[in-house]
Amino acid sequence: MANISFEGDAYALERRIELTSNSPGNHSVGRATYSKAVHLWDKASGNLADFNTHFSFVINSEGNVTKGSGMAFFLAPNGSHIPTDSGGGKLALYSAYLKPEFVAVEFDTHQTEWDPKDLGDHVGIDLSSISSSITCNWTLNDIRNGGRIETWIVYNSTTKNLSVSVVNGEESSYTEIVYCYLWQKVDLKEYLPEWVTIGFTAASLPTLFELHEVYSWDFSSSLQLPENLTNDHNQTGPQTPQPAPIFSGSRKNNYLIWIILTVCGILLLLLGLAWFFCWSNRTHRRGSPASMDVELENETGPRSFSFEELAAATNNFDDAGMLGRGGFGRVYQGFLSDRNSNVAVKRITPDSQQGLKEYAAEVNTISQLRHRNLVKLIGWCREKEEFLIVYEFMPNKSLYFHLFNNPCLLTWETRYRIALGLASALSYLQGDCDQCVLHRDIKSSNVLLDSSFNAKLGDFGLARLVEHGHDLATTELLCGSDGYVAPEYIETRKASKETDVYSFGIVALELACGRPAIFKYENNGVKCRKSLVAWVWVQYGSGNILAVADPRLAQNYIEEEVMRLIVVGLLCAHPSPLRRPSIGEAIDILRGRAQLPVLPLEITMPPNIATHHGNASAFSGSSSHSASGSGQGEFSGNNSSTQRSTSTTARSATIE
């Protein structure tokens, strides 16, 4: 670690960095910084650097509940040192005497007087102040056991966007996986000089002991130049960042991270172009067939495929490999030899104007999104009047398939993990993107399952981007699927965060009860249809809430979790949008961070739940699944014919 400088109690130990003392009972502060100055912006040209960094670290309280104070990744003026009186919650960053300049991402493990009340452990962005300008709750972590934490920080000098992604936990336990996503627009030239020091800082107290260990670190910057070189006055703009591994506890990991950072840089460039073209076209053009062509020509994604490539991958779109069929096209299983992987290829019907609009919406939307609980976009193709989208292949089909076609029984642990995964995806769409993404078609057949039965939300054909705090403008067609559409949307035709939360509530009830959103039953020989949410509310009111749990589970579940999932489902599917929780509040209830709310024992269901939830002809619905619930995930391994609800005969639903 010749390129790492240590200060305070920081030191190197067995190919890792220890930032603070490993002995309890001491005040300890430490810093580890890159030994070379980093060129953040160029005074001559005014260019500001793009940069990205990835690091793997551990905060370990060695089983102690009381812990502190945390650590941070920081940028500070070149030559910066640990300030006087900067221990404890000041994280060796801040001193009231000096008030130093810095920009930092903090991992705070102890509540202090300058933190928001009752926030607890959190990730925050600090701008020359130890009081974070923006935070993400991080209370459910594995610090007591020293779980490994992965962090990615990316700065885009064009948009001035500083984004942070944090992941920790084990794949095998949904209760331990924690994700934090936060971003803030900040002009770094307003906070930092041309040349900066970068690195890590940490602090602990005698009574609040924890270890702070960094295992690997990569950093790349578009203006990274040797400190003693003269600035190139002919440079007209930032150059492509070159990954610069600083150190790694494993040479193999170092190589892999180099590859990951390179790919991430390319993807960020492509996603930025996609966002620009999407915004520009929506602003200046309003969806006529001519403007549709222009918008599609500006599509961009992870990779552009030729039609010949996709025809070869799908055996010339052989019906034997068809996964699903909808009103606007078909989905085929394919194999890409260069990736050595299966994919799902959606082929849009050429003469379908609505299908082409959904193609544009889907590529424009999902190309900007990255989350472990969203179906991954592999690429797209527009060639020879052909419109195709390529997605990752989901071998375990859809949630609907496993809940209602009985291929195998999903255990309670798997169901609860799926609920949390879907909630995490919705939280990302509603709060962690530059614009709010309204999906408008959340249902169990659009919740796809990977090889480990992790949930991935798919089918963004009806999705729309809106500014945060705004609803979608009124639409002529009612989009969505029978049984999952919020009552106020049926009346107003305005989609909102609350309408997507309603759909999530219905899926939560399906997971708990093992019944579809609209299920059939016989009453004196007459076939009727019943709303799941109305039926569950009646059982809740009778005090017999566990009676609605899926009987196939044979009570092999955790009762408290069943109660939480059912109550969250009812609360999210409340007839009044004002009474529904935010998706973040729903997650807190599911994870046990908030008390289980008490719901009214009786509730009046709007008439449109009884009438519209059987009237599929009112819906512009989904491109690949039937409203009655027979649909499968369009990127999943199921050879079935499915269809959106566009022309089904209207029938009324009976609710007891």
The full length of the chain comes to 656
Q: Which long-range contacts (CB under 8 A, 24 or more apart) does 309-315 make?
A: 309/336, 309/381, 310/334, 310/345, 310/381, 310/388, 310/390, 313/337, 313/343, 313/345, 314/345
Tens of pLDDT, residues 348-378: 876 655 566 677 777 777 777 888 999 988 8
List the single range of 402-416, 475-489, 634-648 with lowest mean pLDDT.
634-648
Q: What is the pLDDT of residue 527?
A: 80
301 exposure class (CB count in 10 Å sphere: 0-12, 13-18, 19+): buried
Q: Structural domains in the chain? A: 4-221 (2.60.120.200), 301-393 (3.30.200.20), 395-612 (1.10.510.10)
CB 552 within 8 A of CB 409: yes
| SS3 category, 528 | strand
Top mean-pLDDT range of 279-283, 432-436, 516-520: 516-520
Q: What is the pLDDT of residue 263?
A: 61
Residue 294 has pLDDT above 70, yes or no: no
List the single range of 154-158, 341-345, 500-504, 649-653 with lowest mean pLDDT.
649-653
Residue 280 has pLDDT above 60, yes or no: no
CB 78 within 8 A of CB 36: no
d(CA 151, CA 164): 7
Q: What is the pLDDT of residue 150?
A: 85
CA 522 to chain centre: 41
Q: What is the pLDDT of residue 120?
A: 76
Mean of all residue pLDDT scores within the chain = 77
Average pLDDT over residues 217-229: 63
Angle at 493 (CA atoms; ends 488, 496), nearest 5 degrees: 70
Tens of pLDDT, residues 317-343: 998 888 877 656 788 999 998 888 899
Instruction: Report CA dihedral (83, 88, 94, 96) to the nearest 10 degrees.
Output: -90
Instruction: Report CA dihedral (361, 364, 365, 369) to the nearest 10 degrees.
Output: 160
Q: What is the pLDDT of residue 454?
A: 93
Q: Which residue has the higher pLDDT, 638 or 566?
A: 566
Beta strand segments in 349-488, E: 377-383, 386-392, 436-438, 447-449, 455-457, 464-466
Q: What is the pLDDT of residue 11?
A: 93
d(CA 237, CA 221): 13
Tens of pLDDT, residues 72-104: 999 999 988 988 878 887 888 887 777 788 999
d(CA 5, CA 13): 14
d(CA 510, CA 591): 19
Q: What is the pLDDT of residue 100?
A: 82
Longest distance between any two alpha carbons in the chain, whole Å: 89
CB 213 within 8 A of CB 148: no
Q: Which residue has the higher pLDDT, 129 or 234?
A: 129
Q: Identify the band that residue 16 occupies on the pLDDT scale cut at 50, 70 and 90.
A: very high
Average pLDDT over residues 455-474: 75
d(CA 330, CA 323): 8
Average pLDDT over residues 486-514: 92
Say which residues have a Cβ less than 8 Å from residue 425's Cβ, sequence separation at least 6.
371, 373, 374, 455, 456, 457
Residue 467 has pLDDT above 80, yes or no: no
Q: What is the pLDDT of residue 600?
A: 86
Closest of 154, 155, 115, 161 to residue 138, by C-alpha: 115
CA 21 to chain centre: 36
- Check whether the bond before 69 is cis (ω within 30° of 0): yes
Tens of pLDDT, residues 398-456: 999 889 886 668 899 999 999 999 999 999 998 877 678 888 899 999 999 998 899 99
Measured distance between the N- and C-terminal CA atoms of the chain, rounded to whole angstroms? 71
Q: What is the pLDDT of residue 141?
A: 75
Looking at residue 406, what DSSP letter applies?
Answer: -
Residue 287 has pLDDT above 80, yes or no: no
Beta strand segments in 328-477, E: 329-336, 341-348, 377-383, 386-392, 436-438, 447-449, 455-457, 464-466
Percent of the chain with pLDDT strictly greater than 90: 32
Q: How far are the Cα atoms of 310, 350, 433 from residue 306, in angstroms, in the given order?
A: 7, 16, 30
d(CA 478, CA 490): 7
Q: Which residue has the higher pLDDT, 149 or 62?
A: 149
Residue 619 has pLDDT above 50, yes or no: no
List the single range of 91-100, 252-261, 588-597 with lowest mean pLDDT.
252-261
Q: What is the pLDDT of residue 412?
A: 94
Q: What is the pLDDT of residue 352?
A: 59
Q: What is the pLDDT of residue 177?
A: 46
Residue 229 has pLDDT above 60, yes or no: no
Residue 643 has pLDDT above 50, yes or no: no
Q: What is the pLDDT of residue 633?
A: 47
Q: Identify the band that residue 302 occupies on the pLDDT scale cut at 50, 70 and 90.
A: low
Q: How far are the Cα atoms of 450, 510, 539 from residue 547, in angstroms, in the given order?
A: 30, 14, 7
Q: What is the pLDDT of residue 583?
A: 94
Instruction: Report CA dihedral (630, 633, 637, 642) to the nearest 10 degrees.
Output: 40
Q: What is the pLDDT of residue 321?
A: 87
Residue 346 assigned as binding residue: yes
Q: Which residues belong to the active site?
A: 441
Q: What is the pLDDT of residue 34?
A: 93
Residue 291 has pLDDT above 60, yes or no: no
